[in-house]
Structure 1
Amino acid sequence: MALPSVYVDADACPVKDEVIKVAERHGLPVIFVANGGLRPSRDPMIRHVVVSKGADAADDWIVENAQANDIVITADIPLASRTVALGAHVLGPTGRPFTPESIGMAVAMRDLKQHLRETGESKGFNASFSREDRSRFLGALDQAVRRAVRAAST
């Protein structure tokens, strides 16, 4: 039985500590992927991958390495779409799950918001990350890990 891995799109990810906490509790490896600025860990279950500065280099690395039933943490909708297509369990840092049923609407909303920003109709402000977001993420990640571990054992 191969346990799932947790892949984190680590550039500007506000829930790195929470990911480590949940993954440690379940004995899962964590792979942080970023363009730089990662603090190394001595924990053998935590791996840091620094990719080139290319626009989608971290996303591409995650898509090339993640497998079905792995867990992916990202706020990037196109990356979420690509990893949902792989069969991964995908969560945003606020605990929002991206599923085969919800990813189409998420992509459409992202494209609409981008269009509104480009035309000046929207300033593109994002709500600040709250304590409630962090709490919701912890619960959602724990549920996703339990689903992934259960699926790996069948």
Structure 2
Amino acid sequence: MNEPAADRSIVVFIDADACPVKDETYRVAGRYGLHVYVVANSFITLPREPWIERVVVSDGFDAADDWIAERARPGSVVVTSDVPLASRCVKAGAEVLAPNGKPFSESGIGLALATRNLMQDLREAGTVTGGPRPFSARDRSAYLGALDRTVMRLKRGGFG
């Protein structure tokens, strides 16, 4: 397994367990010639492309998150809906996108963490029993646009 380059290249890390936008990520990464690391706790079938790399980590608690967070850096794009992982990656200087296209930022990550913790407490107390709304075609489209804009912004910033 190759390690992400420590240079100015743009790399994409997908927190792949339950990620609904893997195919969209491959499409955008292929257009820009980006290396993609698909990180999961179990085997995931991938397209046979030299620039898409499967990383299977142990099934230990947060093993995939730890692998990604240890490698996140300026010039990398992390795709996750995991707010604590997003926080770690934002602090490392990475661009972080949720599968619905929502970017996680330094200014908004505190509120996202607080909201996540509140909802977790409410679920544990039985007050909230539903989960997030179903993933939609609009979410998929928003993600594609956000990923494209993020890569273009990184390229303008000297990455690529």
TM-score, normalization by structure 1: 0.95
Q: Percent identity?
A: 51
2: CA distance, partners of 1:85 / 1:113:
23
Alpha carbons 1:90, 1:97 under 8 Å: kept: yes
User: 2:51 aligned with 1:13, yes or no?
Assistant: no
User: 2:143 aligned with 1:125, yes or no?
Assistant: no
Distance 1:151 1:133, change over 3 A: same
The one-character-per-residue Cα deviations of 1:82-127 (angstroms, maximum 9, x if unpaired) are 0000000000000010000111110010001001111111103221
Which of residues 123, 133, 140 is equivalent to 2:146? 140
Runs of 4+ residues over 3 Å off in structure 1: none
Gaps of 5+ in 1: none
Distance 1:40 1:16, change over 3 A: closer
The CA deviation at 1:153 is: 4.4
Gaps of 5+ in 2: 1-6
* Equivalent position amino acid for 1:18 in 2: E
Alpha carbons 2:8, 2:75 under 8 Å: kept: no
Alpha carbons 2:10, 2:159 under 8 Å: kept: no
Query: Aligned-residue CA RMSD in angstroms?
Result: 1.4
Counterpart secondary structure, 2:133: coil
The one-character-per-residue Cα deviations of 1:43-75 (angstroms, maximum 9, x if unpaired) are 111111000001200000001122222100000
Which of residues 57, 66, 70 is equivalent to 1:60? 66
